């Protein structure tokens, strides 16, 4: 009998010698991920999903970032007005905050960089490419934060749970670390023709570098700050002309790859008539955003599956399934020049027939009253079909850019490619022009890059204008050229999330963004239209403190070492 007891006791002890299961079977540990080449490829590829605007370009509280500046207003009510009506505080939920999301991806990148050594079963060139991609993305994400906040705590490696009271790095430190990552990435990444569409090449790294240096050379940062207070978090503290030179050189490096070109499907020559120029120019500009194969202007594009969501989002509300989410402003419309390259102020522009013979990019970017689309004319006059219902355009215009005319959005729907341009060659040319002009002058090229500021502008305008009209007329001085470059940039890169930051870096935001957003009231009388340009679509406010977003109050309370931006 005693044996039975001993036996049963040992049986019981047996149960307790088993250890607990440490890990859930349906999940994967990081050892599993980083030893497997396929999982690593998936991990790295997934990092790109940080890039904005995959299926719907309206990602800031349901609106485009353009509605935070003078490009447009959001058609439907949206919290983006927090940025324009003066009510933003450190405790508000800033729709463009991007802080938490950025740091999640930065943590993912640093996790990847620190564990990539576990991958032994892969070619070195691929591993180099992965490292290059991660460094590029790290630079890109850091810069996205710096654009908005100024100096930020740099995520150079993974943060540890124990010590998270980390200070903000100065603006200068941030820029130099970002440039470091760009340089290393440029060395490791393959050439553009060896890289799959949607992934970063060395061209992308150099292009990002050009953008970063241009911002760093701009008046907002390349000075003693907004109110001359030399705050190292948000400026260099001094003006240094050499910064423009560095920016010019970086843009030159991208150009000298001799790979990228301004995209055209049809060349525009001097002998074409007006309607041909308008048609070819519009097509060239539209196809840029919907073509994958043979598109050598897109340096880096955010990929998306075939869809027609962009068209549905932007088609005027009078069309079935059209949502018309963005209302471009009259200011935006006025920025576009004419078919002969002149601005509307000094040309044959007629304010009673305002849409006649305009720059093809206007045709390709704006839905205006009378434009033919999807079988009929667009009606944004009072009482027109596209101004009915509870939500319709605030300004009399809708956004046409990025939409493909042949796509059908209701009934038997069709889809197309949409490539949101993260960086494209036209921006590089504009960067080059601005930097060269500010460093040396409109027509100077002391370093022998082979291209002056004026030349660069002409290349861009050649996409949509006759060669004889590509020069900007009557511009001779540096200041005049600066204005011309800014205007060209406004028109060329419209609605691509540039203008809001451009206005800030030029220190023009407090003037431009405090002006009301204008629209047009069009009235139809028999077959004629009258245009009333005095209509205020949205009142706007801008305070100096808005040059930089506030770090959210909740983040400030969790990290006591953070200092908020001035005015918040």
Partner 1 sequence: MKHSRINCKPIVILIILLFLFKLSIFAQTERDSLNKIDEKFWISPYDSHQSKDLITSSVSQIGGAKVENIPGANRMNSIAGLLTGFVNIQDNGSPGWENNSMYIRGLRTLDASNQPLILINGFYRPNAEYINPYDIESITVLKDAASTASFGLRGGNGVILITTKKGRRQPLKISVNTSFGYLQPTRLPDVVNSYDYATLYNEALINDGGVARYDQTALDAYKNGDDLFHYPNNNWLKKFYKKDTFYQTYNLNLRGGSDQVLYYVSAGLTKNSGSLNVDDTVNTYNTNLDHQAIDFRGNMDIKVTPLMNLSIDVSSKISQWNLPGTLNDQEIMARLVRTPPNAFPIFNEDGSLGGTAQYTENPYGMINYSGYSINKTRNLYSTLYLDHKLDFILKNLTVYGSVSFDNYYDQTITRNKGYFVYEGSIDTPQGTGKPDIQQNSNSFGTEYRSFDIRTGLKYSENINEAHNVAANLFLNQNTESGNGRRMPHVYKGLIGSAHYAFKNRYLLDYSFAYQGSEQIGGTGYQQFMFFPAVSLGWILTGENFLSKNSVLSFMKLRGSYGITGLDDGINYYQKSTIFRNIGKAYLTGEGLTSVNTYRRIQVGIENINAERFYKSNIGLDTRFFSDKLYFNVDVFHESGKDLIINSLEIPAMFGARGDLKTNIGETSNKGFEIETGFNSSVGDFKYSLFATYSFSRSKIIDMQEGEVMYPFNSRTGHPINAQFGLQADGLFYDDNEIAASPVQQYGSYQPGDIKYKDLNNDNKIDIDDRTKIGFGSIPEYVYGMGANMYYKGFDFSLFFQGVGNVDKKMSGLLYWEFSPNGTGTAFEHHKNRWVYDPEQNMDTRLTATYPRLTTGGENNNNRNPNSDYWLKDASYLRLKNIEIGYSLSDKVAKSIFIENIRFFVSANNILTFDGIKIIDPELTSSGMRYPIQKSLNFGINLQF
Residue range at the interface with partner 1 (CB under 8 A); choices 68-76, 101-109, 230-238, 484-492: 101-109
Contacting partner 1 (CB under 8 A), which of 76, 90, 111, 116? 111
Between 106 and 435, name the residue whose CB sits nearer to partner 1.
Answer: 106
Contacting partner 1 (CB under 8 A), which of 33, 251, 309, 422? 33
Q: What is the rounded end-to-end Cα distance, in angstroms, of the chain?
A: 82
Q: Which two tokens stand for residue 149?
A: 């906040």
Q: Looking at residues 80 to 99 of the shown chain, list those that interact with partner 1 (rule: CB under 8 A).
A: 91, 99
Between 27 and 258, name the residue whose CB sits nearer to partner 1.
Answer: 27
Residue range at the interface with partner 1 (CB under 8 A); choices 27-35, 118-126, 173-181, 401-409: 27-35
Contacting partner 1 (CB under 8 A), which of 38, 117, 121, 123? 38
Residue range at the interface with partner 1 (CB under 8 A); choices 4-12, 223-231, 335-343, 348-356: 4-12
Q: Please name which of 2, 47, 55 lies closest in space to residue 310, comparing C-alpha atoms.
A: 55
Contacting partner 1 (CB under 8 A), which of 90, 118, 127, 166? 166
C-alpha 58/C-alpha 326 separation (Å) is 9
C-alpha 108/C-alpha 269 separation (Å) is 49
Residue range at the interface with partner 1 (CB under 8 A); choices 59-67, 302-310, 395-403, 464-472: 302-310
C-beta neighbour count of 312 within 10 angstroms: 21
Q: Looking at residues 132 to 161 of the shown chain, list those that interact with partner 1 (rule: CB under 8 A).
A: 153, 155, 158-159, 161
Q: Please name which of 65, 71, 69 lies closest in space to residue 52, comparing C-alpha atoms.
A: 65
Please report the DSSP string for 72-138 in residue order.
EEESS--GGGGGTSS---TTS--TT--HHHHHHHHHHHHHHHHHGGG--SS-HHHHHHHHHHHHHHH
Q: Which two tokens stand for residue 341?
A: 């390259």
Per CB under 8 A, 349 contacts partner 1: no
Q: Which two tokens stand for residue 248?
A: 């010019």
Between 101 and 348, name the residue whose CB sits nearer to partner 1.
Answer: 101
Per CB under 8 A, 7 contacts partner 1: no
Residue range at the interface with partner 1 (CB under 8 A); choices 228-236, 298-306, 408-416, 489-497: 298-306
Q: Which two tokens stand for residue 537?
A: 């679509």
> CA 154, 125, 159: angle at the middle one, nearest 5?
20
State the binding string over 394-433 for partner 1 (x if CB under 8 A, else -).
Answer: -----------------------x----------------
Q: In 414-516, where do the E strands start and end?
A: 420-424
Between 125 and 269, name the residue whose CB sits nearer to partner 1.
Answer: 125
Between 253 and 311, name the residue whose CB sits nearer to partner 1.
Answer: 311
Q: Which distant-in-sequence residues (6+ apart) come within 8 Å of 38 by Cβ?
A: none
| Shortest distance in whole angstroms from residue 456 CB to partner 1 | 29
Q: Looking at residues 350 to 379 of the shown chain, list those that interact with partner 1 (rule: CB under 8 A).
A: none
Binding-site size, partner 1 (CB under 8 A): 64
Per CB under 8 A, 391 contacts partner 1: no
Contacting partner 1 (CB under 8 A), which of 20, 474, 525, 534? 20
Per CB under 8 A, 446 contacts partner 1: no
Between 38 and 525, name the residue whose CB sits nearer to partner 1.
Answer: 38
Tell me if 246 sits within 8 A of 527, measured CB to CB.
no
Contacting partner 1 (CB under 8 A), which of 77, 125, 194, 306? 306
**Cα radius of gyration (the chain):** 27
Cα 142 to Cα 136, 236, 330, 487, distances in angstroms: 10, 17, 34, 28
C-alpha 535/C-alpha 521 separation (Å) is 7
Q: Please name which of 202, 252, 567 lies closest in space to residue 431, comparing C-alpha atoms.
A: 252
Per CB under 8 A, 104 contacts partner 1: yes
Between 138 and 504, name the residue whose CB sits nearer to partner 1.
Answer: 138
Between 146 and 503, name the residue whose CB sits nearer to partner 1.
Answer: 146
Between 417 and 432, name the residue whose CB sits nearer to partner 1.
Answer: 417
Q: Which distant-in-sequence residues (6+ apart) come within 8 Å of 127 by Cβ?
A: 116, 119
Q: Looking at residues 539 to 568 of the shown chain, list those that interact with partner 1 (rule: CB under 8 A).
A: 553-555, 557-559
C-alpha 239/C-alpha 223 separation (Å) is 4
Q: Please name which of 413, 417, 379, 420 lies closest in space to residue 398, comparing C-alpha atoms.
A: 379
Between 47 and 475, name the residue whose CB sits nearer to partner 1.
Answer: 47
3-state secondary structure (DSSP) of residue 532: strand
Per CB under 8 A, 10 contacts partner 1: no
Between 117 and 560, name the residue whose CB sits nearer to partner 1.
Answer: 560
Tell me if 131 sits within 8 A of 204, measured CB to CB.
no
Between 164 and 353, name the residue whose CB sits nearer to partner 1.
Answer: 164
| Shortest distance in whole angstroms from residue 27 CB to partner 1 | 4
3-state secondary structure (DSSP) of residue 308: coil
Q: Looking at residues 179 to 218 of the shown chain, list those that interact with partner 1 (rule: CB under 8 A).
A: 196-199
Between 306 and 377, name the residue whose CB sits nearer to partner 1.
Answer: 306
State the binding string over 486-515 for partner 1 (x if CB under 8 A, else -).
Answer: ------------------------------
Between 528 and 557, name the residue whose CB sits nearer to partner 1.
Answer: 557
Per CB under 8 A, 25 contacts partner 1: yes
Q: Which distant-in-sequence residues (6+ apart) come within 8 Å of 410 by Cβ?
A: 319, 320, 321
| Shortest distance in whole angstroms from residue 171 CB to partner 1 | 18
C-alpha 99/C-alpha 470 separation (Å) is 41
Question: Facing residues of 420 across strands?
Answer: 302
Tell me if 108 sits within 8 A of 147, measured CB to CB.
no
C-beta neighbour count of 140 within 10 angstroms: 27
Q: Which residues bind partner 1 (CB under 8 A)?
A: 5, 8-9, 12-13, 15-16, 20-30, 32-33, 38-39, 41-43, 45-49, 91, 99-100, 103-108, 111, 153, 155, 158-159, 161, 164, 166, 196-199, 292-293, 303-306, 417, 553-555, 557-559
């Amino acid at each position: 009998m005693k044996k039975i007891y001993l036996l049963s006791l040992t049986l019981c002890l047996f149960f307790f010698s088993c250890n607990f299961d440490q890990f859930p079977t349906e999940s994967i540990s990081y050892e599993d991920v980083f030893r497997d080449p396929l999982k690593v490829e998936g991990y790295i590829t997934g990092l790109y999903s940080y890039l904005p605007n995959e299926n719907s370009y309206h990602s800031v509280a349901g609106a485009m970032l353009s509605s935070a500046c003078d490009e447009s207003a959001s058609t439907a009510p949206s919290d983006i007005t927090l940025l324009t009506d003066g009510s933003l505080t450190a405790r508000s939920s800033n729709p463009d905050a991007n802080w938490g999301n950025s740091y999640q991806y930065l943590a993912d990148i640093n996790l990847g960089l620190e564990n990539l050594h576990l991958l032994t079963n892969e070619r070195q060139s691929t591993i180099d490419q992965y490292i290059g991609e991660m460094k590029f993305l790290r630079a890109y994400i850091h810069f996205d934060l710096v654009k908005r906040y100024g100096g930020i705590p740099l995520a150079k490696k993974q943060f540890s749970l124990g010590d998270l009271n980390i200070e903000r790095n100065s603006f200068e430190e941030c820029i130099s670390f970002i440039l470091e990552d760009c340089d290393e990435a440029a060395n490791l990444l393959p050439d553009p023709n060896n890289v799959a569409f949607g992934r970063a090449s060395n061209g992308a790294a150099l292009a990002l570098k050009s953008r970063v240096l241009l911002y760093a050379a701009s008046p907002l940062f390349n000075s003693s700050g907004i109110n001359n207070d030399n705050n190292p978090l948000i400026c260099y503290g001094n003006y240094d002309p050499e910064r423009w030179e560095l920016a010019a050189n970086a843009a030159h490096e991208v150009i000298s790859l001799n790979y990228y070109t301004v995209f055209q499907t049809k060349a525009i020559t001097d002998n074409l008539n007006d309607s041909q120029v308008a048609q070819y120019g519009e097509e060239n500009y539209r196809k840029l955003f919907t073509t994958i194969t043979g598109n050598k202007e897109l340096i880096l594009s955010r990929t998306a599956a075939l869809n027609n969501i962009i068209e549905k989002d932007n088609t005027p509300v009078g069309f079935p399934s059209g949502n018309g989410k963005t209302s471009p402003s009259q200011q935006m419309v006025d920025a576009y020049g004419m078919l002969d390259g002149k601005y509307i102020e000094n040309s044959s522009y007629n304010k009673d027939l305002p849409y006649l013979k305009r720059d093809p990019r206007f045709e390709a970017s704006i839905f205006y009253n009378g434009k033919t689309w999807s079988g009929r004319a667009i009606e944004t006059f009072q009482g027109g079909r596209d101004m009915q219902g509870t939500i319709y355009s605030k300004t009399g215009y809708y956004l046409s850019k990025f939409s493909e005319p042949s796509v059908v959005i209701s009934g038997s729907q069709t889809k197309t490619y949409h490539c949101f341009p993260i960086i494209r060659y036209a921006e590089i040319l504009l960067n080059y022009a601005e930097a060269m002009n500010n460093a040396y002058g409109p027509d100077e090229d002391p370093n022998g890059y082979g291209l002056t500021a004026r030349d660069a502008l002409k290349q861009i305008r050649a996409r949509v204008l006759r060669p004889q009209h590509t020069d900007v007329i009557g511009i001779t001085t540096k200041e005049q050229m600066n204005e011309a470059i800014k205007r060209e940039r406004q028109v060329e890169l419209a609605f691509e999330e540039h203008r809001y930051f451009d206005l800030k870096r030029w220190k023009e935001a407090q003037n431009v963004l405090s002006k009301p957003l204008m629209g047009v009231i069009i009235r139809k009388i028999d077959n004629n239209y009258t245009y009333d340009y005095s209509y205020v679509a949205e009142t706007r406010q801008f305070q100096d403190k808005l040059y930089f977003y506030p770090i959210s109050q909740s983040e400030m309370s969790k990290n006591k070492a953070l200092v908020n931006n001035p005015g918040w």
